[in-house]
Amino acid sequence: MIDINCDLGEGLHNEHIIMPLISSCNISCGAHAGSIEIIDNVIQLAIQHKVKIGAHPSFPDRQNFGRKVLDISNNNLQKSLENQLIVFKERALLQNATIHHVKPHGALYNLIAVNREKASVVIAAIQHVFEAVKLYVPYQSRIEEVAIQSGVEIIHEAFADRTYNEDLSLVSRTLSNALIEDKHEVLKQVQKISEKQLVTTVNFHEKEIKASTFCVHGDTKNAIEILQYLHEYIHTK
C-alpha cells in the first residue's frame, strides 16, 4: 500500500483533520515551528489513528520556518539537531510512543540531499540519539549514501505535491511552478513514481526515481482536498 506522510505540528492546527488521511507523520521538533505542547498533542493524535511517528528536525530558524539555509557551524548544527531529537524522544517516551523515523525539514532536507558534509552531521546527530530509527531520504542523494555507509536504515521518499528538476532536486519555492495543487495531477505523479519508478520533470523529461513514501505538505493551500483524494484512491484500489 502507498504510504502518505505529512509534516505536522507546525502551528497550522489542522492535524485532527489530516491525521485520519495519512499513514506516516513528521512532527516538528520545535526549531522551525511548534512547541512541547503541540508535540505532545500530535503524538497523541498519531497514536489514536495508528499513524507512524517521525521526528522532523530542522535548522534552528523559526523566523524563516526552516526554509532558508543557515550559516551555522557543523558543531552547532549537530548540537541543535541532537537537542531537538532528544526533546522529541523524551516526549514520545512519556506516551509510550514508538518513533518510526526521522525526516529533516525544509532547507536542511534539500541541503543534505546534495551536501555530503552536512549529511554526515545529520547522521551523526541521529546516531547519538537513537540506537535504531529509519530515515526518510530522497533517491540517489548524498544523505542516502552517508546513511547506508553508516548503517542507518533508509526509506526513499518522493513529493506528491512538488515538481522536480532534471537532477531530481525540488523546484525552488520561489518559482511559480514549484507546487502541484491540482489533486488529479498529484495522483498522477504518485502513480507514475510508485508504479513505473519514473517522474516527469519540469522540462518534460522522464527520470528514474524510487519512493516508498510520499509527502504532501500540510501548508499547501488545498492539502486537505489532496489528502482526501489520495486516501480515497489508496483505500479503494
Domain that holds residue 62: 3-159+212-234
Is the separation of the CB atoms in 23 and 41 below 8 Å?
no
In a domain, 195, yes or no: no
Distance CA 21, CA 184 (A): 17
In a domain, 62, yes or no: yes
Residue 1: pLDDT above 90? no
| DSSP states along 188-230 | HHHHHHHHHSEEE-TTS-EEE---SEEE--TTSTTHHHHHHHH
In a domain, 90, yes or no: yes
Q: At residue 110, what are phi and psi to the nearest 5 degrees? A: -70, -35
Total domain count for the chain? 1
What is the 8-class DSSP label of residue 21? G
28, containing H or E segment: strand 24-28
In a domain, 138, yes or no: yes
Give, in degrees to the nearest 5, the angle at Cα 22 between 24 and 100: 10
Distance CA 227, CA 237 (A): 15
What is the per-residue pLDDT for 111? 97
What is the per-residue pLDDT for 221? 85
Cross-strand bridge partners of residue 199: 207
Residue 44 region by backbone torsions, left for phi larger than 0, else alpha for psi between -120 and 50, else beta? alpha
Instruction: Provide the CA 193 distance to its chain's centre, in angstroms.
Output: 17
In a domain, 179, yes or no: no
What whole-number percentage of the chain has pLDDT above 90?
Answer: 96
In a domain, 188, yes or no: no
Find the length of the chain.
237
- Residue 13 belongs to domain with CATH number: 3.20.20.370
Q: Which residue has the cell 492546527?
A: 13
Residues 56-70 pLDDT 10s: 999 999 999 999 999
Three cell numbers written together for 202 = 519540469
In a domain, 84, yes or no: yes
Cross-strand bridge partners of residue 4: 214
Is the separation of the CB atoms in 236 and 228 below 8 Å?
no
Please state the rounded mean pLDDT for residues 85-104.
98
pTM of the predicted model, to two decimals? Answer: 0.96
Residues 193-221 pLDDT 10s: 999 999 999 999 999 999 999 999 988 88
What is the per-residue pLDDT for 29? 98
What is the per-residue pLDDT for 220? 86
What is the per-residue pLDDT for 237? 73
What is the per-residue pLDDT for 227? 98
In a domain, 88, yes or no: yes
Residue 160: pLDDT above 90? yes
Residues 100-114 pLDDT 10s: 999 999 999 999 999
Three cell numbers written together for 48 = 489514536
Q: What confidence tier does 189 reach under pLDDT thresholds 50, 70, 90?
A: very high
Instruction: Provide the CA 45 distance to its chain's centre, in angstroms.
Output: 18
Please state the rounded mean pLDDT for residues 112-133.
98
Q: Which residue has the cell 548503517?
A: 151
What is the per-residue pLDDT for 167? 95
